[in-house]
Structure 1
Amino acid sequence: MTPEMVIDVGREALLVMVLLSAPVLLTALGIGLAIGMVQAATQIQEMTLSFIPKLLGMFVALAVVGHWMLGLMVEYTVRLYDSIPGVIG
């Protein structure tokens, strides 16, 4: 296994990780930003106010894009397993 192969596998793993985490994190960011603006406008500074909407939003995001995320993970794992003979030999 050459160093280039290790870097390629690591780069692809990082790309898959970013793609898998992006929908959930962007949903939490958007909801947090919206609630933060409402809190700033109303001067309600309750830290727990944003927790439940973020949690529900992340759950909805997982429900909506969960199928795609699972497909991406399976595709990456199959590609990784298929490349084992080429890496060893």
Structure 2
Amino acid sequence: MDPQVILDLYGQGFYLIVVMVSAVMVPSLVVGLMVSVFQAATQINEQTLTFLPRFVVTIFAIMHLGPWLLMSLTDFFHQLFIDIPMLIG
């Protein structure tokens, strides 16, 4: 097996992980930033105020992006298993 093939597989897997995590975490970060701006504007220093909106947005993102995330991961592993004979020999 060629080392370049292994590096390509690692690169594809790492890219897939970064895209999947970003798709879930970016909305949560945006909501956290908006709540922080709200807290700074109103001078409310409640630490638990940011938890619920970020939690709700994260759950909402997982619910709506879940089928796409699962399909992407399944396609990657399906292609990986199909390519096993080529990778070995």
TM-score between the two structures when normalised by the length of structure 1: 0.96
Runs ≥4 in structure 1, deviation > 2 angstroms? none
What displacement does 1:73 show?
0.6
What displacement does 1:45 show?
1.2
Identity of aligned residues (%): 31
> Hey, what's the Cα distance between the residues in 2 that align with 1:77 and 1:30?
31
Which residue of structure 2 lines up, in the alignment, with residue 54 of structure 1? 54
TM-score between the two structures when normalised by the length of structure 2: 0.96
What displacement does 1:71 show?
0.5
What displacement does 1:47 show?
1.4
- The gaps in structure 1 that reach 5 residues or longer are none
SS, match of residue 45 in structure 2: coil
RMSD (CA atoms): 0.7
- Is 1:27 the equivalent of 2:57? no
